[in-house]
């Protein structure tokens, strides 16, 4: 399975909104609504932020939202805050009972 494609880095100023894309294929993102997003701060374990494309787990800020169009899923963070600075990874079910991650995106809050 090939990794999903994410931008290596994105940045934004506090209060702004940013969007991170996650491009797959018709074999993964395009077919299954099983895309999840994870936030990882340095030296920490990842944290689930979005699942099933656009659902938020309990306790995750509503500033985080997810969507999908065709083979591309997106994570949008509105009202950027300093604590949002982290690495973000998308993950999709890829059929044949396997999962595939994106390469990760480093978010910098300017």
Partner 1 sequence: QVQLVESGGGGVQPGTSLRLSCAASGFTFTSYGIHWVRQVPGKGLDWVAVMFFDGSNKYYADSVKGRFTISRDNSKNTVYLQMNSLRAEDTAVYYCARDGLAESTAWLFEYWGQGTLVTVSS
Q: Does residue 20 bind partner 1 (CB under 8 A)?
A: no
User: Which of 57, 69, 70, 107 lies at the binding interface for partner 1 (CB under 8 A)?
Assistant: 57
How is residue 58 written in tokens?
């309990």
| Site size with partner 1, rule: CB under 8 A | 25
Q: Per rule CB under 8 A, is residue 100 in the interface with partner 1?
A: yes
Q: By CB under 8 A, is residue 97 in contact with partner 1?
A: yes
**Three-state secondary structure readout of the chain:** CCCEECCCEEEECCCCCEEEEEECCCCCCCCCCCEEEEEECCCCCCEEEEECCCECCCCCCCCEEEEEECCEEEEEECCCCHHHCEEEEEEEECCCCCEEEECCEEEEEC
Q: How far is the CB of 15 from partner 1 (least distance, A)?
A: 29
Nearer to partner 1, 28 or 84 (CB): 28
Helices (H) and strands (E) in the chain, counts: 0, 9
Residue of the chain from 12, 24, 66, 102 that contacts partner 1 (CB under 8 A): 102
Could you list the residues that contact partner 1 (CB under 8 A)? 1, 3, 34, 36, 38, 40, 45-48, 51-52, 57, 89, 91, 93, 96-104
């Amino acid at each position: 399975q090939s990794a999903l494609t994410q931008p290596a880095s994105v940045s934004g100023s506090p209060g702004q909104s940013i969007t991170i894309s996650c491009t797959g294929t018709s074999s993964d993102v395009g077919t299954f609504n099983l895309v999840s997003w994870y936030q990882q701060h340095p030296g920490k374990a990842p944290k689930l932020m979005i699942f099933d494309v656009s659902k938020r787990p309990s306790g995750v800020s509503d500033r985080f939202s997810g969507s999908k169009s065709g083979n591309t899923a997106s994570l949008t963070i509105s009202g950027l805050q300093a604590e949002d600075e982290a690495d973000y990874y998308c993950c999709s079910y890829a059929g044949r009972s396997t999962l595939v991650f994106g390469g990760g995106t480093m978010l910098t809050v300017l």
